[in-house]
Chain A
Amino acid sequence: MVEGPDKQLGEAVLEARDLTKVYRMGEVDVHALRGVDLTLRAGELMVLLGASGSGKSTLLNILGGLDSPSSGTVAYRGADLTHATGAQLTRYRREHVGFIFQFYNLIPSLTARENVALVTDLVSTPMAPEEALEVVGLGPRMDHFPSQLSGGEQQRVAIARAIAKRPDVMLCDEPTGALDYRTGVLVLDVLARINQDLGTTTAIITHNAPVGAMAERVVTLADGAIAETHENEAPVEASSLRW
């Protein structure tokens, strides 16, 4: 994929400073993050790489206001999230963040359309659920329940659900983790297109190093710290990825 002419980088959307996260597991402390500095810039597509257990999910959850760090700060467009109340975090998630998880986390009792409506009910200027589902290519399967959809289709419903509220930031935790290669590519392609067309700042977690090729920036985590940051001069199309 080639950068769009009107795409502007630079302004910081999310800024993490010196993040640490310690889980107490009985007698032992698990240091999931050991001082991470990371800035997510407006409109950027970032891929977060790292081995299993390196702290990727922990970092993403903290960025998305689902979890709080043990120390360090996170700011969204200059506003501190670390000291935000539960209600403020809820507002932040509701208005600005779209999540995508490895296990989709759809509500099994709701159809694809209704799962998306769950989000459009919440915000003032959403996309129509149908439109969001068209974007991910699921128009014809709108009235299917999750159990009637394949894994890739369920993940695309989850994406539609995330984009329907026109979020500022998309945080995707192993969106292809449960999918086969072909379906995985399809999902990544949808994410790239949304980043491109809507200008949504996007962070994608994966443990598949080749996926980094589609990003403008690749950050590699190892053992709770950033091991390497790599800027891509020429990101490629998702469909040309191989792993």
Chain B
Amino acid sequence: MKALDQKLARDLRTLGGQILTIALVVASGVASFTTVRGAYGSLARARADFYSAQRFPDVFARCERAPRSVLERLEQVPGVAVIEGRVTEQASLPLPWMTEPASAHVVGLPPGGPRLSSLHLRSGRPPRPNDDDEVLLSDAFADEHDLAPGSTVPAILGGVFRELRVVGVALSPEHVLVVAAGDIAVDNRRRGIVFMNEDAVAAATGREGAFDDVVAQLSAGASEEAVLAAFDRILEPYGGYGAHGRDRQLSNFILSGELAQLENMATQIPPLFLLVAAFLLHVVLTRLVQLQRSQVAALKALGYDDLSIGLHYLKLASVIVALGAALGLALGQWFGGGLIDLYRDYFRFPTLEARVDVATAVAAVAVSAIAATVGTFTSVRSILRLAPAEAMRPPAPARYRRGLTDLPGVRRFVPPALQMTLREVQRRPVRLLLSSLGIAASLALLVLGQFFGDAMAWLTDTYMERQQRWDVQVTLREPRDVGGLATFRQLPGVTRAEGMRQVPARVRVGPREREVALQAMVPDRGAEGLQRVVDSEGNVVEPPVDGLLMTSKLAEILGAQPGDGITVEVLEGSRETLTLPLTATVEEPFGLQVYMRSGALHAALRQEPMVTSVLLQVDGLAASSDAEAARDLDQRLARMRDVLGFVHRARMIQEFRAQSAKNIGVFSLVLTLFAATIAIGVVDNNARVSLSMRRRDLASLRVLGFSRAEISEILLSEIALQVLLALPLGLVFGNAMVTSMAAGVADPEVYRLPVIVTAQSYAFAAGVALAAAAFSALLVRRKLDRLDLIAVLKTRE
């Protein structure tokens, strides 16, 4: 082996622990990059495969009821390649083990099997033709309730109770995520999809020879917009609710939101990690090379050229990067697999495989390698630029200056060890700053890792707490007049019952439109009501006396300003088109809402006040201590004919929390782990570098008679100073990162994350840094205790 390579091998061995910690930093950068991007890639691929294998339609429309002959007219619309009319219905499933009934979307299967959105059978078989009671269940619902082929499920379909026999479990591309309209979270316990023979659904709902749901596949190059307009025109007389493309198909909409969110995270966060890791790699390598300044000079004096010296150090860097990359890729693979396992429960795809995106892996490794190369070469060059004679000369005694701490008044209070540290800092402020910047960056990553959990906790604990003051929300089968509320007030435990009117509508300004629900409280109690409008700051906002109060994001989408007239197409009843003024907007973290006063809404509709759902405040329920009372209420509600379904706020929030804990929680756990590794790596490396840089000074001090404790103090106060300076910097960086992430990560139409950094998150980040510092301090202390004075003083490094 060449002597220079021998030196490399020895250096690697001596640096051992340090190389490992730098490699860990690199590994964290690479792993976070590949984990998140890999997870995104896997999901995107699974969706694309599933959609094309099952022929996911391009256009969706619903109407009240249209004769099947209308299908021919729809099929003739230019651009339509395949069309399929379906019969669907809502059913409630009073499962004996649940007190609140589950609800189901029932989809009729055409006699020859679906031509679009065909089902992927997980187990069992399709229903036999002409059998009215055999059904397939959506697989998430079946899993949740342990239902399998052979089980029976009670159902109220078209007002009639019947027992359905489960013959199979299936996946549909239209129901990858099952969300009941109006819900905030996927709830596979309370909501399922039932597939049965079309004739059976038609018979149960009196829709023989008719359809209420139509999907279409477009031919290549067709204009979706034109097809949607034509569908709307054709279905209008049959109570059409408005056709839409894939973008507004509920499951796909939510799925796209989640994917967009993941993609945003994948594009924004990992590069940040990688950049921080690269920055640290650069700083650390620069210092490693600086430490060998006189060795570089000696090699040069011996006749080694710049290139071979540069390559020598590059080899050292490559070993670190290679180690880090290998570790990072392995970790990324492992975490990616774990993330996908979690997603498999949530996203219902027939196959969801963890994938390693080769391009991502290559990019991650390349960024680290470039950072290492640049770091190495810049520092080697700075040494090579010195004439070797100068680099080799015993370093001139550093020029220290007297500073603030030397003022007579201050001096007395500054112990000598701290004094030495402070002088060192005054001499090399940039070095301290770089060290602190590195620690601050890792603190910021830690803060960011906590942010998603904090934001979700704020949404559920603070925001929704202020917004919703009800315990149970009851959805009515049909709109009812306000007098009906009295029945609910008589239920045991109910202290208040207030109604809510929701009217499906399309709001439009010029070419921009969205389907929403106009929402009003009946009776209108404003800020005293059970459901209030609350802005992102947590302030209660009352809808104006006339006109619309709109989520500001919706106003932005429509391009509308307060004062503008909004076209409102009512999508039920007399289906009027109104023009209402936009009076005010409100910044809200969830969804796109339009609020009105009950008086203004019903005046515009020219109706008596009606309610579509009822909010109940129930004594003792909130404490959830009284399970017996809750069950009693559930049973009474389930028996009421008007009631389509109901939900307990506490359970809904619990569900939402569990879901976000699973998805966001795991994600931020992974980020936190990587960030903590980086924090530890940085602090530890700084400590080690300080130690090597000052080894000679410290040994000399020992020789002069300083005790171990005294020289430790000098070094430890340096470490402490780095960390202390990093703490406030980290808070500032963390806030900046959170601000930019909050804007980029959430899908703005579903929710907008508030910029929140809690004291706990910051304390946690600071705690990790301090723990890392304490650990490094111990390590340094141990190394100092073993400092071989003679060996240090005898050789020059």
Taking CB atoms, residues of chain B closer than 8 Å to A87 are 305
Say whether A90 faces chain B, with CB atoms less than 8 Å apart. Answer: yes
* Interface hub of A68, A87, A107, A115 (most chain B Cβ within 10 A): A107
Q: B183 to chain A: closest CB distance in Å?
A: 66
Is A118 in contact with B305, judged by CB distance below 8 angstroms? no
Say whether A55 faces chain B, with CB atoms less than 8 Å apart. Answer: no
Taking CB atoms, residues of chain A closer than 8 Å to B298 are 105-107
Say whether B572 faces chain A, with CB atoms less than 8 Å apart. Answer: no
Cα–Cα distance between A90 and B392 once the two chains are bound (Å) = 16
Cα–Cα distance between A95 and B305 once the two chains are bound (Å) = 12
* Interface hub of B301, B304, B794, B796 (most chain A Cβ within 10 A): B301
Quick one: CB contact mask for B292-310 with A, threshold 8 Å, 1 for yes?
A: 0011011111111110000
Say whether B10 faces chain A, with CB atoms less than 8 Å apart. Answer: yes
Is A114 in contact with B302, judged by CB distance below 8 angstroms? no
Quick one: CB contact mask for A64-87 with B, threshold 8 Å, 1 for yes?
A: 101110000000000000000011
Cα–Cα distance between A87 and B2 once the two chains are bound (Å) = 22
Q: Of all chain A residues, which has the CB nearest B303?
A: A94
Say whether B795 faces chain A, with CB atoms less than 8 Å apart. Answer: yes
Taking CB atoms, residues of chain A closer than 8 Å to B6 are 110, 114, 117
Interface residues on chain B, number (Cβ under 8 Å): 33
Is A146 in contact with B795, judged by CB distance below 8 angstroms? yes
Is A90 in contact with B294, judged by CB distance below 8 angstroms? no
Quick one: CB contact mask for A108-142 with B, threshold 8 Å, 1 for yes?
A: 11100011011111110000000000000000000
Is B304 in contact with A122, judged by CB distance below 8 angstroms? yes
Say whether B797 faces chain A, with CB atoms less than 8 Å apart. Answer: yes
* Interface hub of A109, A120, A123, A154 (most chain B Cβ within 10 A): A109
Say whether A52 faces chain B, with CB atoms less than 8 Å apart. Answer: no
Is A121 in contact with B388, judged by CB distance below 8 angstroms? no
Is A118 in contact with B302, judged by CB distance below 8 angstroms? yes
Interface residue from B3, B297, B304 paired with A110 (Cβ < 8 Å)? B3
Quick one: CB contact mask for B324-355 with A, threshold 8 Å, 1 for yes?
A: 00000000000000000000000000000000
Interface residues on chain A, number (Cβ under 8 Å): 39
Q: Of all chain A residues, which has the CB nearest B394?
A: A103
Interface residue from A64, A86, A101, A107 paired with B295 (Cβ < 8 Å)? A107
Is B794 in contact with A146, judged by CB distance below 8 angstroms? yes
Knowing A103-B394, A107-B295, the reply to whether A115 touches B3 (Cβ < 8 A) is: yes
Q: Of all chain B residues, which has the CB nearest A119?
A: B302
Cα–Cα distance between A104 and B300 once the two chains are bound (Å) = 14
Cα–Cα distance between A90 and B300 once the two chains are bound (Å) = 7
Taking CB atoms, residues of chain A closer than 8 Å to B392 are 101, 103, 105
Q: A129 to chain B: closest CB distance in Å?
A: 9
Say whether B14 faces chain A, with CB atoms less than 8 Å apart. Answer: yes
Cα–Cα distance between A91 and B308 once the two chains are bound (Å) = 13
Say whether A39 faces chain B, with CB atoms less than 8 Å apart. Answer: no
Cα–Cα distance between A73 and B394 once the two chains are bound (Å) = 27
Cα–Cα distance between A105 and B388 once the two chains are bound (Å) = 12
Cα–Cα distance between A66 and B389 once the two chains are bound (Å) = 6
Is B7 in contact with A151, judged by CB distance below 8 angstroms? no
Cα–Cα distance between A165 and B302 once the two chains are bound (Å) = 10
Say whether B398 faces chain A, with CB atoms less than 8 Å apart. Answer: no
Q: Of all chain B residues, which has the CB nearest A68?
A: B387
Is B4 in contact with A118, judged by CB distance below 8 angstroms? yes
Is B794 in contact with A147, judged by CB distance below 8 angstroms? yes
Taking CB atoms, residues of chain A closer than 8 Å to B3 are 110, 114-115, 117-118, 120-121
Cα–Cα distance between A206 and B527 once the two chains are bound (Å) = 95
* Interface hub of B390, B788, B790 (most chain A Cβ within 10 A): B390
Cα–Cα distance between A122 and B387 once the two chains are bound (Å) = 20
Cα–Cα distance between A64 and B300 once the two chains are bound (Å) = 12
Q: A161 to chain B: closest CB distance in Å?
A: 7
Knowing A107-B7, A107-B295, the reply to whether A66 touches B388 (Cβ < 8 A) is: yes
Taking CB atoms, residues of chain B closer than 8 Å to A101 are 301, 392
Knowing A105-B392, A122-B304, the reply to whether A151 touches B794 (Cβ < 8 A) is: yes
Is A106 in contact with B794, judged by CB distance below 8 angstroms? no
Is A93 in contact with B387, judged by CB distance below 8 angstroms? no
Quick one: CB contact mask for B373-389 with A, threshold 8 Å, 1 for yes?
A: 00000000000000111
Taking CB atoms, residues of chain B closer than 8 Å to A151 are 794
Say whether B11 faces chain A, with CB atoms less than 8 Å apart. Answer: yes
Cα–Cα distance between A187 and B14 once the two chains are bound (Å) = 31
Q: Of all chain A residues, which has the CB nearest B792?
A: A147
Say whether B359 faces chain A, with CB atoms less than 8 Å apart. Answer: no
* Interface hub of A57, A108, A117 (most chain B Cβ within 10 A): A108
Is B302 in contact with A122, judged by CB distance below 8 angstroms? yes
Taking CB atoms, residues of chain B closer than 8 Å to A94 are 302-305
Cα–Cα distance between A229 and B788 once the two chains are bound (Å) = 46
Say whether A61 faces chain B, with CB atoms less than 8 Å apart. Answer: yes
Taking CB atoms, residues of chain B closer than 8 Å to A66 are 300-301, 387-389
Is A109 in contact with B301, judged by CB distance below 8 angstroms? no
Cα–Cα distance between A161 and B299 once the two chains are bound (Å) = 11
Q: B680 to chain A: closest CB distance in Å?
A: 27
Knowing A105-B392, A109-B11, the reply to whether A118 touches B300 (Cβ < 8 A) is: no
Within 8 A of A (CB), among B351-406: 387-390, 392, 394
Taking CB atoms, residues of chain B closer than 8 Å to A99 are 301-302
Is A93 in contact with B302, judged by CB distance below 8 angstroms? yes
Within 8 A of A (CB), among B171-191: none
Say whether B410 faces chain A, with CB atoms less than 8 Å apart. Answer: no
Q: A131 to chain B: closest CB distance in Å?
A: 16
Provide a sorted-by-A list of 24 A–B residue pairs whose CB atoms are within 8 angstroms: A61-B387, A66-B387, A66-B389, A67-B388, A86-B306, A90-B305, A93-B301, A93-B302, A93-B303, A94-B303, A94-B304, A95-B303, A105-B294, A105-B301, A106-B298, A108-B795, A109-B7, A114-B7, A115-B3, A117-B3, A118-B299, A121-B3, A122-B304, A147-B790
Q: Which 3 A-B pairs have the closest CB atoms?
A: A94-B303, A109-B10, A117-B3
Interface residue ranges, A against B (CB under 8 Å)? 57, 61, 64, 66-68, 86-87, 90-91, 93-95, 97, 99, 101, 103-110, 114-115, 117-123, 146-147, 151, 154, 161, 165
4 further interface pairs, Cβ-Cβ under 8 Å (given A115-B3, A146-B795, A151-B794): A66-B388, A67-B388, A107-B7, A114-B6
